[in-house]
Every structure is written in C-alpha cells, then in structure tokens.
Amino acid sequence: MKTKGWLLLGLVGVVACVGPEQPIDGLIENLPAVTNTSKVFTWDLKANNYSLEESYPLELTGKVGDDLLLNVIVTDVGARLDTTRIQLFNRGDTLLFQDFLTTNQVQTVIDTLQTGLRNLPAVFEVNAKRYTGQVHFTLTVQ
C-alpha cells in the first residue's frame, strides 16, 4: 500500500509540473528578436527596465528604383528615463533615420532607392537605458 501511495504522489508531482508560461505575443521579455535577410530586417523587443547598446550590420540589398518601407510601432512605453533611440546609417555612416522611443506611436516611411544606393540602410543601432515598452521595427526592400 505504501508503494502505491508513493507512486501516486510521484505521478501527481510529474503531472503538476509545468514549464514557463508561453508568451502570448511570441516575444520573451528583454530578449530582442531579429530577422536579417536581403529583403527584410526586423527587430522586435518587449522590454522591462532593459538596457542595451547594439549595432546590427544589415544584409539588405536592392537596386535603384526599389521601394524601401520602414515601419515602427511602439507601445506600452513606461516612464521615460533616458533618450532611448533607434538609428539607421548608410554605408558612408550618414544618419538616414532616427527615432526616440519615448511615446507610443505608429510610423511608416516609404522611400525609393536612389542612384548609388546612398539611401540604402547598412547599419541599425539601438541605445537604451532601463527602457520599458514594446518596439516592432521592420525595414523592407521591394
């Protein structure tokens, strides 16, 4: 009888064990999700008092006349503690785009690649200190 009791208790313990909760939006807190291909760059973050300083060389390719679509969605911004920002630079280190992530927003920019591809982004940078909020950044060449 004692063996059955321990076996039952062990079975209950195994069945009752659960792993971490699955994220509803697919994002794990304080871990950026990045996609970097020849046609799309995405950077998504669900931050809670998160600090980072990162630079991503972009794999984007395009030709003169291609459309460049940039989309930024910022939600659930907490108290602004610093000048958290994202930036895009071209191959010549010229600043092409900058956004301070201090307010909830939706922003879309459409541009056409110019001669010499001087407006094709080559580097994505993000700088944050104790940032709280969600950021969805997408850059597409079509």
> Residue 83: which pLDDT band, with cuts at 50, 70 and 90?
confident
22 CB-near residues (< 8 Å, 6+ apart): none
85-107 pLDDT, tens digit per residue, is: 999 999 999 999 999 998 999 99
Query: Which residue type sits at 112?
Result: T
For β-strands 105-112 and 123-141, DSSP reports them as unpaired
pTM above threshold 0.85: no
pLDDT reading at 21 higher than 60: no
Domain-wise residue ranges, the chain = 27-141
Q: Any idea which fold 27-141 has?
A: Jelly Rolls (2.60.120)
Exposure letters 47-56 (e unless 16+ CB within 10 A, then b): beebeeeeee
* CA geometry: angle 57, 59, 26, nearest 5 deg: 85
Instruction: Assess contact for 44 and 32: CB atoms under 8 A.
Output: yes
| pLDDT score recorded for residue 26 | 66
